[in-house]
Chain A
Amino acid sequence: MSAVLVPGEAVSEIEEVAKTKKVVLGPGLRRTNDSVLACKAGVLCKKAPNMFWIDSYQRRYVPVRGECVLGVVTQKAGDIFRVDIGAHEQACLSYLAFEGATKKNRPDIQLGDLLYARLVVASRDLEPELVCVNSHGKKEKLGVLNDGFVFNCSINLVRKILNKNCPLLQALQREMPFEVAVGMNGRIWIKAKTMRETIAVGNAILATEFVSNDDIRKLCENIGNILFT
């Protein structure tokens, strides 16, 4: 499974499968009537039994409902905050979408604060909407992130380090304690005990983009050795 597709190309393989059973079309694929077209340039991927998507290089974030992103508060506009999530448009975040927030008890959010939030509305025609609570009204892992360091990376890198088989985070935590929030919009926030360690974690993450899994372990060991000698 390593067919390279360009936008507009029909994917006959999926069309064949779809004649008999249900098919899940992931990012990069769209359908018109019974034909399936690629809308990104990249490699066709398949997950058993019948899920297809295109793996392509991308830095621009396109909001998707349910994904967690990192955003910066840019504006307070009455009942809502405007949050920059790196998408085509700023997202809005109601001040009631925080744990324990009521009309009288507003959350303490300042301009320039960094938030880890979940997208609940992401449509091409509407402005994206964020929340900082789950469906039970608990904040869980969402909310404001204090201190630490944020940097941007490609969306591919985010997918790579969040993959179940990626050893990066496990290898890094063997070297030093740290905390991380990875947004699907290609922003990563990290926090470690010292500035030196924070920079080391950041560099390790950025360095993994084009490194194989085995080399990642070596890379993390190296970083540990350099830091603590």
Chain B
Amino acid sequence: MSAKPQLSKGVLQMKFMKRTKDKVDEELAALEGRTMYSNEITDRMMNDSSNFIIEPSFMRCEDLIDGRLSFRGMNPEIERLLELEEQERQAKTRHEMGKDVTDQEMVDYYGNVVQTISRKFDTHRKRKGNREESESKPMKFLKPKDED
């Protein structure tokens, strides 16, 4: 049945086989557990994807507020906490802030910056080359033609 070779008890008890022994023991325990509960675990329990979520609290069903409240300075400590909560809630609901810089402006500016910085990292010669691409190569000595 088992394709894997089984190690004998004597071999497993040797000192250098300690790690293998642990592994074998673990496998054995897992197998025992599976056989012990196999008649109680149904296929349904093994792979059930239920559509039901249980929520035992009314707090989330009815969106109840927190029950600790203070009004008009009766307990400043609690009121400060409530104020912070309120601010947090407002920050969540508030719309996004308007833009100071339009997207087009940003693209123009950023494009320029990229060019400037990339020029800085160019080697001197390359930079020169870029600038004077249209110019011809440095002049060479032209040998005069011999006239016989």
Q: Which chain A residues have a beta carbon within 8 Å of chain B's beta carbons?
A: 18-19, 21-27, 30-31, 36, 45, 47, 51, 53, 64-68, 116, 140-142, 155, 158-159, 162-164, 169, 172-173, 176-184, 191-193
State the CA gap A176–B73 with chains docked (Å).
Answer: 10
Which residues in chain B, 25-67, are within 8 Å of chain A measured between CB atoms? 51-67
**Cβ–Cβ contact A178 & B58, under 8 A:** no
Residues of A within 8 A of B54 (CB): 24-25, 30-31
**Cβ–Cβ contact A26 & B55, under 8 A:** yes
State the CA gap A158–B73 with chains docked (Å).
Answer: 23
B56, chain A: closest CB distance, angstroms:
5
Chain B interface residue count, Cβ-Cβ cutoff 8 angstroms: 27
Q: Which chain B residues have a beta carbon within 8 Å of chain A's beta carbons?
A: 51-75, 78, 81
A to B contact number (C-beta, < 8 Å) = 114
State the CA gap A36–B53 with chains docked (Å).
Answer: 12
Interface of A is mostly: mixed
Of A45, A47, A67, A169, which is within 8 A of B57 by CB? A67
Residues of A within 8 A of B60 (CB): 26
**Cβ–Cβ contact A177 & B73, under 8 A:** yes
State the CA gap A116–B78 with chains docked (Å).
Answer: 13
State the CA gap A23–B55 with chains docked (Å).
Answer: 10
